[in-house]
Structure 1
């Protein structure tokens, strides 16, 4: 909710920025705002993922994907994510969110996102996303039919498969009891 207005503003302003293909990398310039920081006056670790949502929305809006997703009644959801931090983004600092689809498989569309300032990576995340329609996953065949096949040289890094297998929770239709091992 705290980024709702920024997201709506971004969806409006991204339409005026240069168009991209969903397979291109997007670069979204931002500045660290007081609502992004914690008591240490740097971007809160949990806030990075919320800000990265803006980067994915920018790519989707500029590529026309967002309109197509909404027209079909699809909703993007995050299925898994991991992040590594290198440096802290400070209050009022300018930075960009770099976003790129790095591949897809039968279960997810994978993004790499980077927070970059002064040409240096401050944080990098990998996000597994899905499109759902009425609570059910949209098939990759439908997605490719709507947006086109990925570039031939787009190859999902091998470690992503291991990460998804070891990080994933059981599907919503299977039990996931809370028991500490």
Structure 2
């Protein structure tokens, strides 16, 4: 239930913050709640991506896309993610989540996020997300049109390009599972 309260608070707060455009970075100031913590006494690894979803809601709201999407029955979906953990986040500790949509292709928007505590990055990663409508995937061109922005994406950063390629290879392995053959 606490995620619904946080979602509501983030969404309401985003409605009163300055507008952003794709490429801008936003920051959310958050606290590790007891319900975020696992048996090791720090924020559960699965909770990080759930918190990233909160930043996506704030970003879409501040970019003016949330209302547009809701009117058309569009909703965001995550297509993949990669996260690296450096240090744990302890209960009741404050931290900052930095979030930006850095670039896009015909189908996906690529996201960069960082969890920062006391000026130190404790976890960071990339994700790709898309928009799904009643008729299926909503392309990035439609998203850019809705936001009245240039549909030409900024360049893909090298680390992100490497992840995109790794993601492509992983998806290819889903089509032809190899784990049994590799471990035999």
Same fold (TM over 0.5): yes
Cα root mean square deviation, aligned: 2.4
Contact 1:80 1:168 in 2 (8 A): no
1:164 aligns with 2:167: yes
Larger proportion of helix: 2
Q: What is the count of residue pairs matched by the alignment?
A: 177
Q: 1:21 to 1:9 in 2, by over 3 A?
A: same
Question: Which range moves more in the overlay, 162-171 or 73-82?
Answer: 162-171
The runs of at least 4 aligned residues of structure 1 exceeding 3 Å deviation read 175-181
Name the structure 2 match of 1:149. Answer: 150
Contact 2:22 2:102 in 1 (8 A): no
TM-score by length of 1: 0.87
1:97 aligns with 2:97: yes
Contact 2:145 2:151 in 1 (8 A): no
What displacement does 1:131 show? 0.3
What displacement does 1:48 show? 0.6
Partners of 1:167 and 1:3 in 2: how far apart?
30
TM-score by length of 2: 0.86
Partners of 1:11 and 1:124 in 2: how far apart?
23
